[in-house]
Structure formats: structure tokens, C-alpha cells
Amino acid sequence: MRFLRQSLLGVFLASLTLALLFVAVQMIAGAVQDVLARDDRAPEARERVFAVSVRTAEPETVTPYLEAFGQVQSRRRLELRAALGGRVVALADDFQDGGSVSAGELLVRLDPADAQSALDRAKSDLLDAQFEERDAERSLLLAQDELKSAQAQAALRDRALQRQRDLQERGVGAAAAVEEAELAATSAHQAVLSSRIGLAQAESRVDQATTLLARARIALEGAERDLGDMTIHARFAGTLTEVTLVEGRLVSANEKLAELVDPNALEVAFRISTAQFVRLLDDEGDLISAPVTVSLEVTGTDLVATGRISRDSGAAGEGQTGRLVYARLDDAPGFKPGDFVTVSVEEQALDNVVRLPSSVLDATGNVLVLGADDRLEPLPVQLVRRQGDEVLLRGEGLAGREVVIGRTPLLGSGVRVRPLRVEASVAQPDMVELSDEKRAELVAQVEASARMPQAVKDRVLGQLQQTSVPVALVQRLETRAGG
């Protein structure tokens, strides 16, 4: 039995091997026949169709803007300098860096002893000059009276001489009497001349006294002014910066003590290219009063202020290019002189332009539009302005055409596409809903911040109380928390 079983197993394995060989031979023969029967013609190629996003070009009126970087500065600044030298004997409580002072407030007082002594001497000199003026006026009156008396006496002597001459002509007078009368008249006239000289001297003395009095008054005014310069007052309400003074220090004349700036009269100075400056000129070549928006990035949010262009610099500046433009800010809470900010300026409106993503334009100034049978056609356009990730275009035949907004190197003229039509939309900031624990953590972080102004804190806390919070706000706060 054992031999029979092994014989049957061997026969079975041999039969299986033969069957497999037969199947293999059949497969090889079939493959050879397929190769011999295959047609040598190349297979028919199929055209590739690409899916592209297209948008309809719709002409509109767009107000473009230009962006630049500038620096905030105060339009009202005052250097506090000592007109005279002296020792500082008193300072205002807020006379320190960042101190706020009101208009007319006493800031610095110097030792007034020397100035007070000079004022007292000037007052004494003025009294002496006034006394001299009154004495000169009295002398002038006396000289005038003396001249009148001398003139009257001379007239009397002249009449006496005439009588003696009349008597001599009638033969009853003596020649000696006539000569005596002539001598008396001559002496009287000499007295008149002496009186006139005295009157001229009295008038000259009055003039000198008047000049001396004027000089004394000028000296008194100078002494009063010097005494007033011993105190320095704030001409307007503002904030002190660059304070370099302490009580008891000796200061010299014209030494800078501090600088007073008005934090409410702010402007921003920013430099733009000449081409950008030309776009801000009107038809007469004058700079337009274009609206500007100034932003300063701070913790969690941006400080924003608005204003208008007020003027441009008188010269380009040595070693500089472009133009320096100044814009006056209307209300800028939180801004300080010296802040480096981003400035956005609204230009004059452009009519009949198409706003599209910047990816539609190639290096040759062409865009791809959808033509007949969904094939692409190049269309030349004019680039009017770039606005961030968008471009403003003009072109003949562009209005109403569907433009490819997502170009790739595979797309070109004559390529057939499958259009995916999208509508232009204004991107909105992504919002996120916070958990109670995360919201409480961010609120605590904002309240504990010492560098954030109170107005900014209130605005950020108000945003955190909303159901949905901007993602950018959360990212900024988390970045600050991470250092």
C-alpha cells in the first residue's frame, strides 16, 4: 500500500508539471502573436485641457494709494535757553524728561541778586537824570528872563543915546554926553549878546539832560529785562524733552536747558520718489491736499491717525532723491514725536481702469484672456499702477473679457482651458473663537502691559470681549507673550 501511494503522488506531480508547462507555452505563443499582429502606427495624441481661474475685467473708478515710511514730529517746538548766566535756585516740579507743563508756568528761576542790584542802580541813575532835566529846564527859564531884561535895558540905552544926539543937533547938548550914551548903549548890547550865549548854553544843557534821561530809561528797561530773564516760563502747554538741568547748577548765557514740544500739534514727514510726487500734483503743478493715514504697529493692534498733506520741502536735500512731503495730523492719540510710522496717501481718482491680481500680468505687459472655443489669447495692456498684490490696467478690448488670474508656465497662446469663474471680493480678516481660558489669559496679559497706552488697552479689551476675535490680534499677543 505504501508503494502504491507514493506512485500515485509521483504521477500527480508529473501531470501538474506538464500542465503548467503547457500553460506557459500557450502564454508565450499568444504574446508573440500579439507583437507580430501589432500596428506600427503611433497612437493618437489627446489635447491637454487645463483648469484655470478667470475673472471678468470690469472697468471702474479707483482711488489709488501710495505707501511710504515717515517720522512723526511736532510742528511746535521751543528751545529753553538761559539768556543770562547764573545759579539755578528753583525748578518746576514737572521740569523733567516727559514732564507736562501748562502755558505760562514758571519752569526755571536763576539767582536774581546781581540783576536786582543792576535794576536798583538803573533806577537811581534815572532819578539823577530826571533831577538834571528839571534843573536844566529851570536854568533855561532863567536864561530866557535874563535875555529879556538885557534886551529891555539895551532898548533903554538906545533911546537915551538918541536923546543926546537930538540935543546935540539943537546945540544944547555936549559931545561928551553923547559919547557916554554911546558907551552905555554898546555895553547894553554886549550884555544882550552874553545873555543869548547863556540861553544857548541852557538849551544845550536841556538837550543833554533829555538824552541822559533817555539813556537812563533804556538802561532801566534793560535791567528790568535782565531781571525778567532770570525766570523762564512755558510759552505754551506741552511736554519737556532733552532736560539737562538740576537745581543748584551754574548755567552760562545761551545754554540749552531743555526743549518744549507740543504733543497735540503733530505732523509726519515722509520721503517719496519723484514719480510718486508728480502724481500728487494738480493741473497747475501745485501739491494737492491729499488725505493720509498714518499707522504705528504696537502690541496687539495698530495706532491709526488721519490727516492731510500740508507742504513739501523747499529742496531735495544734499545726497537725497525724491521729495520730502509733510502731512498735518488731525487727531493722533498715542503718537509721539520721533515715531517711525507707515504712511498711506490717497492719490487722485483714476477712471476706466480694471483692478486685477498682479499674477495676471507677464513680463511683456500682456494678459491671457479667454477666447473662442475656450482657448487662451494674449492681450496687450497698459500697467497704470501697482497696489499691493493688485494691478490697475487699461487696454483696448480688455473691458468685459475673462482674464486668467492664476498663470502658470504651462499656459500660453492657443492653449485650451476649462475656465473656473470667480468673482472679485474684498478679503476679510480671519476670525477665531476663543475658549474662556484663552480669553482670560489674553485679557490678563493686556491689563498687565505697562508699555501699552490706556486708549489702546481699551480698544484691545473691547475686541477680546467679542465672540469672534481677529486671528492677527491673537497672534500679536501670543508673540509678545513669548518674548
* Side chain identity, residue 325: V
Residue with cell 538834571: 132
306/376 same-domain check: no
- Report pTM: 0.60
Determine, yes or no, domain membership for 120: yes
Under the banding of pLDDT at 50, 70 and 90, the label for residue 298 is low
In a domain, 384, yes or no: yes
Residue 51 within any structural domain of the chain: no
My answer on whether 97 and 239 are in the same domain is yes
Query: Looking at residues 220-244, what average pLDDT do you find?
Result: 88
Q: Is the pLDDT of residue 423 over 70?
A: no
If asked whether residues 358 and 393 sit together in one domain, one would say yes
CATH of the domain at 173: 1.10.287.620
Residue 330 lies in a domain: yes
Start-to-end Cα distance in the chain? 91
Q: Are 382 and 414 in contact (CB under 8 A)?
A: no
Which class for 452: exposed (0-12), middle (13-18), buried (19 or more C-beta within 10 A)?
buried
User: Which is more confidently placed, 434 or 394?
Assistant: 394
CATH of the domain at 286: 2.40.30
- Residue at 1 is within a domain: no
Q: Is the distance from CB of 97 to CB of 240 less than 8 angstroms?
A: yes
Q: Answer yes or no: is 273 within a domain.
A: yes
Q: Rg of the chain's alpha carbons, rounded to an integer?
A: 53
Question: 100: number of CA atoms within 13 Å, CB side?
Answer: 2
Q: Clarify whether residues 284 and 224 are in a common domain.
A: no
Residue 74 within a domain: no
3-state secondary structure of 431: strand
How far is it, in rounded angstroms, from Cα 385 to Cα 392? 5
Residue 450: φ, ψ to 5°: -95, -15
Residue 361 sits at φ, ψ, to 5 deg, of -100, 135
The pLDDT of residue 438 is 78
- Nearest residue to 181 (alpha-carbon basis) of 154, 201, 200, 204: 154
Which domain does 309 fall in, by range?
Answer: 265-346
Q: Is the pLDDT of residue 426 over 70?
A: no
Report the alpha-carbon distance of residue 257 to residue 81 in Å, rounded.
Answer: 5
- Amino acid code (one letter) for 14: A
Mean pLDDT for the chain overall: 83
Residue 362 is assigned to a structural domain of this protein:
yes
Q: Can you give the CATH number for the domain in which 409 is found?
A: 2.40.420
8 Å CB contact between 374 and 421: no
In this structure, are 273 and 342 located in the same domain? yes
Asked whether residue 299 falls in the same domain as residue 329, the answer is yes
Structure confidence at residue 428 as a pLDDT band (50, 70, 90): very low
Residues 278 and 328 in one domain: yes
Interval 301-322 mean pLDDT? 83
- Give the chain's domain count: 5
Q: Residue 355 class from Cβ within 10 Å (0-12 exposed, 13-18 middle, 19+ buried)?
A: buried
Q: Tens digit of pLDDT for each residue in 436-459?
A: 777 888 888 888 776 676 767 777
Mean pLDDT of 13-36: 79
